[in-house]
Structure 1
Amino acid sequence: MQNKKEIIQKINDLYILYRKKWLKFDTTGYSTISSTITDYHVRNHLQGHYTLGVFAGEIFTKFICFDVDVKDPQMAKWTVYKLVNTLQEIGIPGEYIYISTSGNKGYHVEIFFNKPVFNTDIKQFYLMVLNYAELLNIDYGKVELRPTHTQGVKIPLGKHFTTNRICWYVDYYAGLKPIEDINYILTIQQMDSEYFYNILNKTKDSIDISEQQAIEYENIVARHKPLKIYDENVDPDVTIEAIENLIKTGLKMQGTRHNALLKICKLNKYNGMSAEENKQFLIDWMKKQDKKTYTTKWEDVLKDIDLIVKYTYERNYSLVTKRKDITITANEIEEILKIKGKESCQEFCV
C-alpha cells in the first residue's frame, strides 16, 4: 500500500476523535469494542481484516456523516443529489463535501472540520438540512445522522463483509462512480469550523419561530423550527395559488430551487400535463430564473429535473393542498367519549 503512514494519519485526522470505543465489522457481524483505537486497528481496516467504525465524543465530533440508507439504487443516488445540492445552496462549498459508498445499498455524505464542533450543533444542522431538502420522514428509506456518542459509523476504504465490496469514495460529477484509489483520501480537505458556524448561524436567522415541529428520531423526540424559506412556496402543504404565483414570480433566494421544481411538477401533473410536457416546462422555467438564485451547475439542474419528473409520475406523487383547521367543541368531545370503549380522549389527540 502506497503512502501507508500518510493514509493512516489522514484517517486519524479526519475520523478519529473518541478512541475509547469503536465498532468492528467482520464475517461474524459487528460488535462494539471497548478498547483504545490505535494505528494497528486502522492498518487492519485498510488491509481488509475487519472494518472499523467510530463514535463521536460525548460533547464534540470531528465530522458529520449523512448516512443515506435507501434500497433502490436510483432513489439512493437521487437522495444524494438532493442532499449535496442542499448543502451547496446553504453555503457549504462542494470541495468540502465528500461521498462514499456504504458497501451495500447506500452512501455516506460527509463534511470534515479542522477543529471539533459541538454534537448539539451538528444535530441541529442535520435537522435543518434534511428539513430544507425534504428528506425528513421519507417513505423510501432514511437519512440518518452519524456519528453520535452512542451510534457509530463505518469509515470508508474498508470491506463490506456481506457484499465483499470496498467502500470507495465516489465522484459526484461522474454519476457517483467509485474512485478506486486509496490515495484519494489524501486530497480531502477539512472545513474551518468557524466557517461552519457562520453558515449555521446564518441558517438559524431564517428559522420561522412562529411554529415548531416534533421530529421523532432514533427514539428521541427532537423539536426544531421549520425554515422560513421552507415555508415560502416549498411547504409540502401549499396552496395551488402559491405555486401559480411561484411560476409567475420565479425564484427569489438560494436554497429553494429543488423544492420549487418539485411543487411545480406536482401542480403540472395535477393539471393533466404528461411527463415529457412537464419536463420541458420545468426546463424552460429554469432558463428564465436569475442565476443568482441558485448555485447548482446547469447539467445538475437538468439531471434533477429528470429525476423529479420520473419519480413524480412513476410513484404517482400527488399535490397536497393546504389543510383547514378543524375545531372540536367540549360537547363534541363528551359525545365522542360516550362511544363504547373510548374511556379517554388520548386516541383522538393526535
Structure 2
Amino acid sequence: MKRQELNDTITKISELYISARKRYIIQTQQNYITLDGYKNPSVWTLTDSLIERHLKGVNTYGVFNGNSVNKFITFDVDYADDQVLARWSTLKLIYALENDFNIPSADIHVSFSGNKGYHVDLFFDVPISSDDAKSFYRQVIKTADLPSEKVEYRPTYTQAVKLPLGINQKTGARCWFVDRETLEPIESFDYLNDVEPMDHALILDALIELTPEQEAEFREVVERTNVDVTAVSHEKAQSKVIGILKAGQLQFSNTRHETTVLLAAFCNSQGYEEAEAIDLIMSILLATPSEYFSEGSTAEYWQKETERIVKLAFERGYKLGNEDVAVKVYKSEILAVLGVGTFRQKQLAYAMLITSKRYGKTFYLTTRTAMRMIETKSHETIQSAMKKLVAVGFIEYVRKGEIDRAKSSQIGHAFYKPNRYRILIDKPQADDESVDVMPNQSLIDVTYQLFDIRELRRVISRKELGNRWAR
C-alpha cells in the first residue's frame, strides 16, 4: 500500500470507528486484553501509528463505544462451529436491514471476522445514543429471527469490536471487507476509503414503529397485567402500555427508548397535548431507579429525547392502532350514562365509558383531553362534571392530586401526576342488547340505536330531550 493510501485508510478508520482512544483492546493468539489509559497512565493512546501497525498485521486492535453514544454499530455474526450457518445468517441479516428497515445497501458494510463469522457495520453521520443503537439492534435481530447469542451487538462500553482489515491473530487470516451479496472477499484496503456515514435518522425513525418484535421485552409486564381491554384484547402494545402506567416506572433495564415510543403513541391515541405526553413520560422515567438506565444516562438527555420522540409521534400520527376499532357498548351502560345528570355530564360519562373500553378499566384522562372530548372550553364544566360522576357512583378516582416528587424536584415546583379513573357501573348481563360503536359516533347516535323515543322520555327530561337530543 502506498503511503498516501495508507494515511487515507488510517484517517477513515479514525473517522468511522474510534470514539475513545485511551481505552481499547489488543488481540493475542490466546485472547483479548483490555488496555485502559484512564486506569493506567502508562498505556499508550490508540494513535495513528498503532492503527498503522494494525493494518500491517503487526498487532490487532479493537475499540469500545463512547460510553453513552455510538458512532457505529456492528452486528457480530459468530458461528465458530459452522461457517455455512454464519454465511446464511449474515445474508439474512442484510436482507432484513434492506427490506424491513429501509437501510440502503450502500450503507451496509460487511467484513470477515478472520475465523468463521462476519461483522456487519452501519456508520452514522451523527453519533446516536447507546440506548437507541441497542434498541435498533434488538429490533433487527428479532425481525430477522436471529439469536442474540450468535449475532451480538457491538461495541459497548464493556465489549469492544475488532477493527477490520487487520490480521486475526488466532487464525492468521486477513479481515477483508466482503461483497454484501456474495460475501466474497474484497482484497483491497481501498474499500474503506469510499465509505460515507449514513443518515442517523434512518435508525431513529425505525425505532418509532410499533412492531410485534418489541413484545419479548415486555412479556413479563403483559403477563402480570390483569386488565380488561375489550377493544384491544389482541393488541400487545396496549397491554404493555397499561402495565407500565400501572407500575409507574420502567419494568426492565435499558427500555427507556421503547417505553418512550409506546407512551408517545398511547398519548397521541388518547388525545393528549404534546406537553401532557412529555410530562407523563418524564414522570415514568424520573420515578425509575437509576440502575435501570445505562451508565452515564441523564435526566436532561431523557427530556430531550422525550421531546423529540413525542414531536415525531404526533407529527407523523403514530398511534397504538385501536382508535379506529369498534367497541361494544351495551344498553345497560348507556342507561347508566343517561342517569348521571346534565347533558354535558352525560357526554363526559359516555366519553369516559368509551375510553375505558379502549384503554382499560383503569385509565388516564387529563382535563384538556376531557374538554376536547365533549367540545367545551370550560375547565369548570369538566371539574363540575367529574364531581358529579363521582357523586353518583359512575366513576371513582384511582389516583387524584398525587404530587410527582421526582418531576417536582427536577422543575423546582409542585407537579401533579395525571389523575386516574375507574368506571364503577355494573357489568352487562349476557342477554343485554348491544351495538358496535365507532369513534365518530356520538352519545346521541348510540342512544338512538339502543332506545326508542318512548324509552328516552322515561329517563330524560322533556326540556333536555327537546333542546339537546334533536337529530
On whether the aligned pair clears a TM of 0.5, the verdict is yes
* Equivalent in 74, 77, 99 of residue 110 of structure 2: 99
Task: State the 1:105 CA deviation.
Answer: 1.2
Residue 182 of structure 2 is aligned to residue 193 of structure 1: no
Aligned counterparts of 2:55 and 2:191: Cα–Cα separation in 1: 13
* Equivalent in 13, 29, 32 of residue 30 of structure 1: 32
Structure with a larger share of its residues in helix? 2
Residue 88 of structure 2 is aligned to residue 78 of structure 1: yes
Tell me if the contact between 2:54 and 2:166 (Cα under 8 Å) persists in the aligned partners: yes
Aligned length: 217
How big is each residue's C-alpha offset from its partner over 1:304-345, in whole Å with a ceiling of 9 and x where there is no partner? xxxxxxxxxxxxxxxxxxxxxxxxxxxxxxxxxxxxxxxxxx
- TM-score, normalised on structure 1? 0.58
Letter in 2 for 1:86: A
Change (3 A) 1:162 1:193: same
Aligned counterparts of 1:106 and 1:144: Cα–Cα separation in 2: 11
Structure with a larger share of its residues in strand? 1
Change (3 A) 1:163 1:209: closer
Q: How does 1:250-289 map to 2 (within 5 A)?
A: none
Letter in 1 for 2:34: T
Task: State the 1:198 CA deviation.
Answer: 2.1
Q: How does 1:143-222 map to 2 (within 5 A)?
A: 143-173=151-181, 175-201=182-208, 203-204=209-210, 212-213=218-219
SS at match of 1:166: coil
Letter in 2 for 1:63: F
How big is each residue's C-alpha offset from its partner over 1:227-280, in whole Å with a ceiling of 9 and x where there is no partner? xxxxxxxxxxxxxxxxxxxxxxxxxxxxxxxxxxxxxxxxxxxxxxxxxxxxxx
Letter in 1 for 2:7: K
Task: Name the structure 1 match of 2:128.
Answer: 117
Task: State the 1:161 CA deviation.
Answer: 1.3
Task: State the 1:18 CA deviation.
Answer: 1.5
Tell me if the contact between 1:95 and 1:189 (Cα under 8 Å) persists in the aligned partners: no
SS at match of 2:124: strand
Task: State the 1:200 CA deviation.
Answer: 2.6
Aligned counterparts of 1:211 and 1:63: Cα–Cα separation in 2: 24
Task: State the 1:58 CA deviation.
Answer: 1.3
The percent identity for this pair of structures is 39
How big is each residue's C-alpha offset from its partner over 1:20-74, in whole Å with a ceiling of 9 and x where there is no partner? 2000113453211123211111111011111110000111011000000113111
Larger Rg: 2
SS at match of 2:9: helix
Task: State the 1:146 CA deviation.
Answer: 0.3
Change (3 A) 1:54 1:208: closer
Task: Name the structure 2 match of 1:347.
Answer: none
Task: State the 1:204 CA deviation.
Answer: 4.0
Aligned counterparts of 1:210 and 1:58: Cα–Cα separation in 2: 26
Task: State the 1:5 CA deviation.
Answer: 1.1
- TM-score, normalised on structure 2? 0.43
Residue 141 of structure 2 is aligned to residue 130 of structure 1: yes
Letter in 1 for 2:77: V
Structure 2 alignment gaps of length 5 or more: 38-44, 221-251, 260-471
Task: Name the structure 2 match of 1:246.
Answer: none
Task: State the 1:194 CA deviation.
Answer: 2.4
Q: How does 1:220-239 map to 2 (within 5 A)?
A: none
Aligned counterparts of 2:82 and 2:23: Cα–Cα separation in 1: 32
Tell me if the contact between 1:26 and 1:49 (Cα under 8 Å) persists in the aligned partners: no
Aligned counterparts of 1:182 and 1:163: Cα–Cα separation in 2: 20
Tell me if the contact between 2:62 and 2:161 (Cα under 8 Å) persists in the aligned partners: yes
Tell me if the contact between 1:82 and 1:133 (Cα under 8 Å) persists in the aligned partners: yes
Task: State the 1:211 CA deviation.
Answer: 8.1
SS at match of 2:127: strand
Letter in 2 for 1:67: D
How big is each residue's C-alpha offset from its partner over 1:144-175, in whole Å with a ceiling of 9 and x where there is no partner? 000000000001001011211000000022x2
Letter in 1 for 2:114: G
If asked which structure has higher relative contact order (CA below 8 Å, sep 6+), I would say: 1
